[in-house]
Amino acid sequence: MVIFLDVLILENFIVNTFLIILTADTLKIKIKKLNTVISAMVGALYVITMLFESLYLLNSLPIKIIIAFIMILISFQKKDILFNIKGTAIFILYSMLLAGLCVFTEFNKNGGALDRGIILNFSYKKLMIAIMIIYIVLSRLIIFVKDRKALNNYIYGVEIVLDGSVKKIKAFLDTGNELVEPVTNLPVIIVEEDLFSKEDIKNYKYYYIPYSVINGQYGRMAAIKPEKIMVYKDDVGEEKEALIAFCNNKLSQVGDYQGLLSRGIL
């Protein structure tokens, strides 16, 4: 029998990814894509030990459970030992159910063969893997759509009226942002600086807003007070009094918004 190692690893990688995502969905836990890939690859590489008689000790049940436990640790990055045990148990249960389904399907066709726990000549393999890929893609797509929908609930239209120009942007309501100007106690809207030209703001008095972030970084942001600010949600606008502070960085990597609203603005 000829085994293509790259195909074997790829197939097991897809199966492991499917099982990890299924486990995460069962536990209702979000996992990072990189963690999923690393964990699935660990499991995919482990299958190589089943091909060599000299590595038979690594195919014992305790080692298999340990590998499953390591995969869960990598996937979820949780320190809670009970959670990891629960996750491992669910992962192993789904693995057993999937393996049982494959064996049942193949042997009912009377065409399969089994060698050291590996199904040979499995004609339904491509179908099963295709189903897994579809599930993986659809589950990620559904999560993406839900995240986008949730994000849109926090995005507002903002109209900034300056001396001689009007800027319309989208701003994200950052509920953890309580930035205010210390003297006037006005809330601060953070906006990407490159939206404004020097001509737009050259006649304005500058305020300097002290800020600090969770990682310990601190500094001051330049800000101005425009003639008027309108905040829109669902086509309903309300005039607000606030300062506009400028930042050098892109606030959204995909361009969903160009500003951050402080909680006090609403």
Ramachandran angles phi, psi of 217, nearest 5°: -70, 145
203: enclosing H helix or E strand: none
The answer to whether residue 242 scores a pLDDT higher than 80 is: yes
Both tokens of 119, joined, read 């199904």
Position 120 scores a pLDDT of: 47
Catalytic residue among 6, 25, 174, 194: 174
**Contacts (Cβ under 8 Å, ≥6 apart) of 51:** 3
Q: What percent of the chain has pLDDT over 90?
A: 7
Q: What is the pTM of this model?
A: 0.49
pLDDT in tens, 12-71: 888 888 889 888 888 888 888 899 999 999 988 888 887 777 777 787 888 889 999 999
Average pLDDT of span 205-215: 77
Average pLDDT of span 87-98: 85
Is 25 assigned a catalytic role? no
Domains for the chain: give ranges and CATH numbers. 5-151 (no CATH), 154-265 (2.40.70)
d(Cα 177, Cα 261) in Å, to the nearest integer? 8
**Number of neighbouring beta carbons within 10 Å of residue 23:** 26
From residue 82, how far is each of 8, 24, 70, 78, 87 by CA, in Å? 33, 15, 14, 10, 9
Residue 9 or residue 152, greater confidence: 9
**Number of neighbouring beta carbons within 10 Å of residue 128:** 19
The answer to whether residue 112 scores a pLDDT higher than 90 is: no
The average confidence (pLDDT) of the chain is 79
